[in-house]
Amino acid sequence: MYKQIDSNKRNSVILVILFFIILGGLGYAFDLFYGSGQGYFPYVGVIVAVVFSLIMTSVSYYSGDKIALSASGAKQIKHSDNPYLYRMVENLAITAGIKTPKVYIIEDSSINAFATGRKPELSSIAVTTGAIQKLENEELEGVIAHEMSHVKNYDIRFMMLVAVLVGSIAILSDIFLRMSFFGKKGSNKKGSHPAIIIVGIVFIILSPIIANLVKLAISRKREYLADASGSLLTRYPEGLARALEKIGKENQPMKKKSKATAHLFISNPFQGKKVRHIFSTHPPIADRVKKLREM
């Protein structure tokens, strides 16, 4: 388990470093096309783009949990509303050493759950009625432990950092592309070959797509990390493995779902709709089950 956790943390950091390489490549590609010594406007444009991206992401960061809970139709409960679920969340929070998250129930027959909140003190865990009704005690415990691990690992905060980088790359690419096509072309004092300049423009066009693919890869790594961390909480990987098998076998999409919040759930809420692995927010269930049973 510890080996799996270390591996996923390391891979996530490597993927974030890739974002900074892409950002640096964007600047270099723009310089090749536009040329240096053209005044300060390009630098002002970069600053404005980054600041705009940070502001937009900050708004999502501070209100994203409320948006996600509202979009899924989650209703907050007290201990008396569902003692079984509430006690399970409470016990796992004690085991994890964090404050008990707010507990929500989603009226949906599919088996799913998600956690949100930028830090453990402000976290929430939402579980579908389908998960409560269809999963055995150890299976539901495994699902909640997985979500508890997202909270403890600060995955929401981590993914917001990734969103900042993706947003910055998308906005910078758009600005650079517009300036490249509609602005005055630089004098090319460095003597760059036209073919290199073309490669630079192609990179500017493709960089947002590459950034989104890296974001999806990070999302999948955080799912593997939560699987391993959750198993460390329960000391019973088989519980989560069985729950995931039931989710995969049922293959039932949720009624209320959004692409903006899909990465939060333990399983893709768009079940039934076949999505290629490279474009998915979640690893294949069979791979997750295999890794859990190897722990």
Token pair of 212 as six digits = 């989104």
Q: How many CA atoms lie within 13 A of 123 on its CB side?
A: 26
CA angle, residues 60, 64, 67, in degrees to nearest 5: 120
| Contact (CB, 8 A) for 114 and 103 | no
SS3 assignment, position 113: strand
Contacts of 90 (CB under 8 A, 6+ apart): 100
Question: What distance, in Å, lies between the first and last C-alpha atoms of the chain?
Answer: 6
Catalytic status, residue 147:
yes
Catalytic residue among 147, 245, 250, 294: 147
- Look-up of token digits 């959004």: 258
DSSP character string of 37-89: -S-SHHHHHHHHHHHHHHHHHHHHHHHHHHHHHHHTTEEE--TTT-HHHHHHH
Tokens 């974001």 locate to 215
Active site residues: 147
